[in-house]
Amino acid sequence: MHRVETFSTAGQTRADRLAYWNDVATSTIGPLVIDALDRDSFQASLKRVCLRNCEIVAPTSNPATIRTQPTGAASSVLNLQVQHRGRSSTRFGDRICTLDAGDFMLFDPSCASVLQFSETTQAIVVRLPTAEAEGRVPGLREMAGVPVRGNAGAGAMLSRFIRAAWTQLESEDDLGWAESLCDVIWPLVEMAYAGVRSSRPPNTPREHRQRELFAYIDSHFLEANLTARRIANELSVSTRYVQIMFAESGTTPSSYIQSRRLDHAAQLLAQTRRDASITAVAFDSGFNDLSTFCRVFRRKFGIAPRDYRAGARPTAA
């Protein structure tokens, strides 16, 4: 069963609070440097739920400045940050914007940004795997730093869903239902950014090719013989080109394919295939070796396929 983890500066000495908070934020959200407006009175807390293929993190903090620096390498996670309470100002590149309660913005942890707030605020951060984001909402990473208002239209639908879901997560002990959040959120993200993406210049040939790449995999990932070489042959590009496309999303072709298969297997085990054998689920999900399937399933979800089918869910570490 999932549980809500809690981290707080309350148990730290005044001199250690900020250093502790920097460590917590970096380990749960990404590489950050946080400086408090008033170090003597600084207090902060953070709650986290780890789900099947995403994490939800909700930090609350006294006034502070939060900086990220370019890492020089593509991040494997994109942070969709919803302003839950209070107001914040963000500088992303040459753009500066203010987020009020309900508004949200996508952050790429590998890019430079500065976030400031002069009042106690709470954010809800949904950590989305970059590779899956590129597969489900191609071009989403390019939306980093673009604010979306949460008071109307598709932006309001996504914002209200995330905020309501977090309220439920905080108040309930049985979080088994939370697994479906990661699947439900993708169409809402796509709708919320549709208008923003349509205002961008036409796709470059590279972006078009990347869309083709992920679309092909999403149509064939259940086939056991799907490899980077086969993908390259089907799209008339080199195997190296395919590998580079995935490296830019922070993963590899084989890792992405395996992750999609495991998510599919988890859905079969949890929803429609309770009476099916583990072997049948493995083969129906693109695996041709039961021992390999069981090993990688346990590595991703923290429990064996048989236990997952029985209703058990991993407890966040």
Burial letters for 278-289: b for 16+ Cβ neighbours within 10 Å, e otherwise? beebbbebbbee
Mean pLDDT of 83-89: 94
On whether both 138 and 243 belong to a single domain, the answer is no
Q: For residue 43, give the nearest of 10, 11, 71, 87 by alpha carbon.
A: 10
Structural domain for 255, as ranges: 205-309
- Given pLDDT bands bounded at 50, 70 and 90, which one contains residue 197? low
pLDDT of 247 reads: 78
Tens digits of residue pLDDT in 115-125: 999 999 999 99
- Clarify whether residues 211 and 304 are in a common domain: yes
pLDDT at 140: 87
0.85 exceeded by pTM: no
Is the pLDDT at 200 greater than 60, yes or no?
no
Place of tokens 């697994």: 179
Structure tokens at 248: 């830019």
Domain CATH number, residue 130? 2.60.120.10
CATH of the domain at 255: 1.10.10.60
Q: Are residues 123 and 57 in the same domain?
A: yes
Instruction: Please indicate, yes or no, whether residues 190 and 230 belong to a single structural domain of this protein.
Output: no
**Strands 147-148 and 104-107, bridge-based pairing:** antiparallel
Q: pLDDT tens digits, residue range 180-193? A: 777 788 899 999 98
Please indicate, yes or no, if residue 315 is contained in any of the structural domains. Answer: no
Which of 176, 198, 220 is where one domain is finished?
A: 198
In the chain, the number of structural domains is: 2
Answer yes or no: is 317 within a domain: no
Residue of 67 and 316 predicted with greater confidence? 67
